[in-house]
Amino acid sequence: MTDYKNFTVDVDADGIALVTWDMPDRSMNVFTEEVMNELDAIIDHVAGSDGIKGAVITSGKETFSGGADLTMLQKMLGQFEKEKAKDPKKAVKLLFDNAGRMGWLWRKLETSGKPWVSAINGTCMGGAFELSLACHGRVAADSPAVKMALPEVKVGIFPGAGGTQRVPRLAKPQEALQMLTTGQTLTPQKAKAMGLIHEIAAPKKLVETAKKMILDGLSPVQPWDEKGFKLPGGPVYSAAGANLWPPAIAILRRETYNNYPAASAILKCVYEGMLVPFDTALTIEQRYFTEIMQTTEAKMMIRSLFVSLQELNKGARRPDDVPAKKFKKIGVLGAGFMGAGIAFVTAKAGIPVVLIDRDTASAEKGKAHSADLMDKAIKKGRATAEDKEKLLSLITPSDDYAELEGCDLVIEAVFEDSEIKKTATEKAEAVLKPSAVFASNTSTIPISGLAKNSKRPKNFIGIHFFSPVDKMMLVEIIMGKKTGDKALAMAMDYVRAIKKTPIVVNDTRGFYVNRCVLRYMQEAFSMVIEGVPAPMVENAAKMAGMPVGPLALTDETAVDLAQKIMKQTVRDLGPKAVDPRHMELIDTLVDKHGRLGRKNGKGFYDYPAKPAKKHLWACLKDLYPQKSPDKIDVEELQERFLATIALEAARIMEEGIVVDPREADVGSILAFGFAPYTGGALSYIDGMGADAFVAMTKRLQKKYGKQFKAPKLLLDMAESGETFYQRFAPEKAAEKKAA
């Protein structure tokens, strides 16, 4: 029998081949050219061997597969761009052929004449789930570790290896469309209820159950290849179809504002594919996939939300010469909402944590936050009572700083007051070992200033979490002027240990994320003052791709906090640092009307008791003369929101606050949801080209003010034709770090 690098093939006494996928050089199985070539040969071997009745494919790892290695798609796109310069038609044909490789390989499997069963033992994503759907039988292990999904739409593409054709031929059309257009993750129970898998088995009996399907006479012919096959939801041209498709198109537009070409292509693939024989449907899917691969959205989303995100999660910006740290004990100072959240994610990572507050009752209250979160997880079936008990056993609430002895890292999350932070720093350092690192979770106070309170500024760093800590996946690591590599490495090791994404930011007022977010809010304040109706302000932001309108976001963070930030900025930088019109608007809301935001039930929005929904404050329109909606350019409103954030990101790169464009892009998406279809704040500029972006900002500056003035960096890039990923290539960032 042929030897394979990534698979083993064992034929038992019953003539069933067990194909075990276990890549030797990877922690998770992924599809590469080599893997697909080997699978192609295995399919031929199974089909051509008289002694083999059928095959079971499973994984030798804890997970089944994460799907395709998207760097392979990047390579495919690189080949396309290179060929396109020479022969555009040939380039598209090459892309089309490459795009169809996996889909037709799975088609070869399902028409091979032998039954195949997929034994899904863990995470099964993307192309791996499409492979499973091509198998004649599908069995999943009864375990919370088993998750199935076709998540490609989240990175700007769609399931292009038969996913858009097999799912709607197995599941009800509404459920199929929801799964495909959202990238919904399925449990074994949900997948079985949808008809996407056949059986759920005890983990130890998974392969045995899969083999039994073949022994029991599993047909080697898929339902859609049988004569007389009927779609689960009935024909497209039917009463049921008429009730499905118009609303489906309207719902997708409502949810995406047509910003995601891949999501729209999914609907087209499914609709058109249901009208034709299966092989023709696969060709339709292949054509749309080829089209989507050429879009700017796909290119940018693949880069930022897959490749860059993975690189940052693996510690791309971590100093290489510092040994990795395994944490034995971590301290958290301050058991308020942020501190309690930090304690929770630390304990969830299996790390013992001491939670310190001014008295034991306050510290216990902070621990109770973890108990509440675990109760909610248990209610949703995502955790057990044992999980809760184990997590809570790792949190030690106390009012005694002596409990910090032996901590590798202490994270300060006390009230945002320099004097209180100074006291906390001194008390902690009095008991910490010399090698311990002290981190502040401040969101507004420069780290270099806080480090002056430390006897060892080299070991002082900022670790800025976002609220709520348990849900927000981004963490800013702030470098003070004297912060050393050891502190940076330890901070990154900690952030990675709690399974969040770190970005490294040099010290400045507001760091990176808050500077961008404030620009977003400020532009909304300007629009309200100009007389743009508040609903148009919020809707234009959502149409631009932002998940939350800027006025709603201001309410969430608190209107009086915006007031405090403005006043502090004036004190520190002078009156010209804040637009007096903005100050007047916020003062009116807070001081005249007592509207502090969501926390007191009234801000830009009113928050009535449930089940009533929040709504914009009716009197907001009375503060300024209102423009007629018919005379407002909605597309220009969208441009203003995206441009003001992107300009701030460009200024931050120019100032050297962020040095790696991957961090600027990923940070902007994970922290405040900057239009994901753009690939992030800098990719938004790169996607249209610096020259086109500068032309747009000049037009906006002339009409709306100096906030749209492009920095010299962008003017230079517009003239040279450079992109951020050329000028600030990640390898250049690494060289700068080494220097």
Q: Note whether 490 and 558 are same-domain residues.
A: no
Q: Is 372 exposed, middle or buried (0-12, 13-18, 19+ CB in 10 A)?
A: exposed
For CA atoms 638, 643, 648, 652, the dihedral sign is positive
CATH code of the domain covering residue 144:
3.90.226.10
The full 3-state SS of 622-637, as one line of letters, equals HCCCCCCHHHCCHHHH
- Count of C-beta atoms within a 10 Å radius of residue 438: 27
Q: Mean pLDDT check: name the lowest of 66-80, 186-200, 563-577.
A: 66-80
Q: Note whether 473 and 621 are same-domain residues.
A: no
Residue 737: pLDDT over 60: no
Q: What is the mean pLDDT of residues 576-589?
A: 94
Number of domains in the chain: 3
> What pLDDT, in 10s, does the model give residues 440-455?
998 778 899 899 999 9
Domain boundary among 491, 509, 527: 509
Whether residue 249 lies inside any domain: the answer is yes
Whether residue 112 lies inside any domain: the answer is yes
Q: Taking the mean position of all CA atoms in its chain, how far away is CA 500?
A: 11
Q: What is the DSSP string of 9-23?
A: EEE-TTSEEEEEE--
> What pLDDT, in 10s, does the model give residues 13-65?
999 999 999 999 888 999 999 999 999 999 999 999 999 999 999 999 999 99
Which comes out higher in pLDDT, residue 83 or 527? Answer: 527
Q: Mean pLDDT check: name the lowest of 83-92, 265-274, 468-477, 543-552.
A: 83-92
CATH code of the domain covering residue 475:
3.40.50.720
Find, among 536, 559, 510, the residue nearest to 641 by Cα.
536
Q: Taking the mean position of all CA atoms in its chain, how far away is CA 110?
A: 33
Whether residue 308 lies inside any domain: the answer is no
Sequence-ordered list of residues with C-beta below 8 angstroms from that of 633, at least 6 positions apart, any chain: none
Sequence-ordered list of residues with C-beta below 8 angstroms from that of 33, at least 6 positions apart, any chain: 72
- Count of C-beta atoms within a 10 Å radius of residue 713: 18
Q: Note whether 256 and 213 are same-domain residues.
A: yes
Q: What is the mean pLDDT of residues 349-364?
A: 96
Given a contact cutoff of 8 angstroms between Cβ atoms, the answer to whether 107 and 36 are in contact is no
Which pLDDT score is estimated for 443? Answer: 78
- What is the rounded CA–CA span in Å between residue 624 and residue 622? 6
> What pLDDT, in 10s, does the model give residues 636-657?
999 999 999 999 999 999 999 9
Confidence of residue 2 (pLDDT cuts 50, 70, 90): low
Whether residue 322 lies inside any domain: the answer is no
Residue 382: pLDDT over 90: no
Q: Note whether 503 and 575 are same-domain residues.
A: no
* Cα-based distances in Å from 619 to 28, 624, 626: 56, 10, 12
Tell me which residue has tokens 């936050």. Answer: 369
Structural domain containing residue 13: 7-294
Domain boundary among 463, 491, 509: 509
> What pLDDT, in 10s, does the model give residues 106-158?
999 999 999 999 999 999 999 999 999 999 999 999 998 999 999 999 999 99
Q: Is 79 exposed, middle or buried (0-12, 13-18, 19+ CB in 10 A)?
A: middle
Given a contact cutoff of 8 angstroms between Cβ atoms, the answer to whether 40 and 105 are in contact is yes
Q: In the predicted model, what is the mean pLDDT of the chain?
A: 93
- Count of C-beta atoms within a 10 Å radius of residue 622: 9
Q: Note whether 470 and 587 are same-domain residues.
A: no
**Residue 590, both tokens:** 């807070």
Whether residue 303 lies inside any domain: the answer is no
Q: Note whether 256 and 125 are same-domain residues.
A: yes
- The residues that bridge with 148 in the sheet, in sequence order, are 124, 186
Q: Note whether 178 and 257 are same-domain residues.
A: yes
Given a contact cutoff of 8 angstroms between Cβ atoms, the answer to whether 500 and 509 are in contact is no
Q: What is the mean pLDDT of residues 338-359?
A: 96
Which pLDDT score is estimated for 82? Answer: 87
Whether residue 399 lies inside any domain: the answer is yes
Q: Note whether 29 and 158 are same-domain residues.
A: yes
Residue 643 exposure: Cα atoms within 13 Å on the Cβ side: 29
* Cα-based distances in Å from 462 to 328, 428, 445, 668, 671: 20, 16, 10, 18, 16
The full 3-state SS of 482-517, as one line of letters, equals CCCHHHHHHHHHHHHHCCCEEEEEECCCCCCHHHHH
Q: What is the pTM for the complete model shown?
A: 0.91
Q: Mean pLDDT check: name the lowest of 468-477, 640-649, 724-733.
A: 724-733
* Cα-based distances in Å from 131 to 68, 150, 459, 658: 11, 11, 49, 41
Confidence of residue 78 (pLDDT cuts 50, 70, 90): confident
DSSP state of 739: -
Whether residue 494 lies inside any domain: the answer is yes
Q: Note whether 690 and 715 are same-domain residues.
A: yes
Confidence of residue 738 (pLDDT cuts 50, 70, 90): very low
User: Phi, psi at residue 712, to the nearest 5°?
Assistant: -55, -35
Which pLDDT score is estimated for 391? Answer: 96
- What is the rounded CA–CA span in Å between residue 522 and residue 572? 19
Q: What is the mean pLDDT of residues 197-211?
A: 97
Q: Note whether 207 and 176 are same-domain residues.
A: yes
Which pLDDT score is estimated for 731? Answer: 60
Which pLDDT score is estimated for 602? Answer: 95
- What is the rounded CA–CA span in Å between residue 175 and residue 89? 37
Percentage of residues of the chain with pLDDT beyond 90: 86
Residue 687: pLDDT over 60: yes
CATH code of the domain covering residue 684:
1.10.1040.50
Amino acid type, 565: I
- What is the rounded CA–CA span in Å between residue 497 and residue 345? 10
Q: Note whether 180 and 200 are same-domain residues.
A: yes
Q: Note whether 171 and 109 are same-domain residues.
A: yes
Whether residue 32 lies inside any domain: the answer is yes
Q: Strand runs (DSSP E) across 143-264, as ranges?
A: 148-149, 185-186, 199-201
Cα angle: 292, vertex 294, 295; to 5 degrees: 70
- End-to-end Cα spacing for the chain: 53
69 by DSSP, 3-state: which? Answer: coil
Confidence of residue 220 (pLDDT cuts 50, 70, 90): very high
Domain boundary among 509, 544, 575: 509
- The residues that bridge with 438 in the sheet, in sequence order, are 410, 460
- What is the rounded CA–CA span in Å between residue 413 and residue 465? 10
State which of 415-424, 501-510, 718-727 shows the largest mean pLDDT. 718-727
Which comes out higher in pLDDT, residue 381 or 468? Answer: 468
